Amino acid sequence: MKYSRFIALMAAFLMFAGSAFAAPPNLKQASINYKTGKYQEACNELKEIVRLQPTNMLAHYYLALSHQALGHMSDAKLQYQWVIAHGDAKFRSFAQTGLSQLGTANVSSSSQSLSPTATSPAPASGKPKVAKILEFYADW
């Protein structure tokens, strides 16, 4: 009797608290999402990673790339600037390149999309077309 009550209580606890034990987003999955064009998913995961690990340089860099791919140029600029200020020489260089490329794009806030120009019409999906900025690998 006591054993079945214990099992019932544990089942109820896990049912209601299960989401609290969900694994935090990981950088590898977020980078895969970025590389496969799932920019919004990558952005959401990377924001959480940066919240949990505010000094994670790679997360800030991928967050900048994701924001840029989504057309959130102001947010991308902030992340690139963070990497330039806190990153190692290699990533500072990457971030400076990304930041310089932002100057050639139309700037928008995080709630707006990159507006298409006369020279680059919007694709049929309605999403802006953004070229991949940089690709690199880190085996740490």
Instruction: Report how far apart, in Å, the C-alpha atoms of 94 and of each of 11, 18, 79, 88, 114 are.
Output: 49, 39, 12, 10, 22
pLDDT of 14 reads: 52
| Superfamily for domain range 24-106+131-140 | Tetratricopeptide repeat domain (1.25.40.10)
Residues 6+ apart with CB under 8 A from 48: 24, 25
Q: What is the pTM of this model?
A: 0.61
Closest by CA to 34, choosing from 73, 60, 57, is 60
Domain range annotation of the chain: 24-106+131-140
Most confident stretch, 17-26, 94-103, 122-131: 94-103
123 vs 54, which has greater pLDDT?
Answer: 54
**Residue found under tokens 């940089």:** 134
Q: What is the chain's Cα-based Rg?
A: 20
Note the pLDDT tens digit of each residue in 59-116. Answer: 999 999 999 999 999 999 999 999 999 999 999 999 999 999 987 755 444 333 333 3
